[in-house]
Amino acid sequence: MDRKQMVEGIMRQAGISKANIARFYEGLVGLIRKELVGSKEFVLPGLGVLRVRTRKARTGRHPQTGQTLQIPAKKVVRFRAYRSLDELLNGPRTSPPGGPPGADEPATDTESTE
């Protein structure tokens, strides 16, 4: 989805003019940039968090020549989705093998009906 499609989708969904949505979008992008440079984190309520991470320097290979080269460290932005969004896309989480005892067992009644 590009910017134009996003603006039109919000316009249809929220009933707001394109001009107002475009101004909001520009303001949001400016705010995200400012927060990522300053605090290294931007929270998108209901969705997740954008965080600045540092990728370590590493050795790589030039794909055409096969020559090894040093790739310098650099800062990258990573998005971490909140659990609600993750479960919407992937279904409910199940406990991993070796998790807490009884986590993968069904609940049982403590009262007897005898």
Residues 15-35 have a mean pLDDT of 93
User: Has this prediction a pTM greater than 0.75?
Assistant: no
9 close to 25: Cβ distance less than 8 angstroms: no
| 104 CB-side CA count, 13 A | 7
Which residue in 3, 1, 64, 61 sits closest to 29, CA to CA?
Answer: 3
Q: Which CATH number fits domain 40-93: 1.10.150.670, 3.40.50.720, 3.40.1480.10, 4.10.520.10?
A: 4.10.520.10
Question: Which pLDDT value is given to residue 37?
Answer: 95
Q: Which tens digit of pLDDT belongs to each residue from 50-78?
A: 999 999 999 999 999 999 999 999 999 99
| Size of the chain in residues | 114
Contact (Cβ atoms closer than 8 angstroms) between residue 54 and residue 73: yes
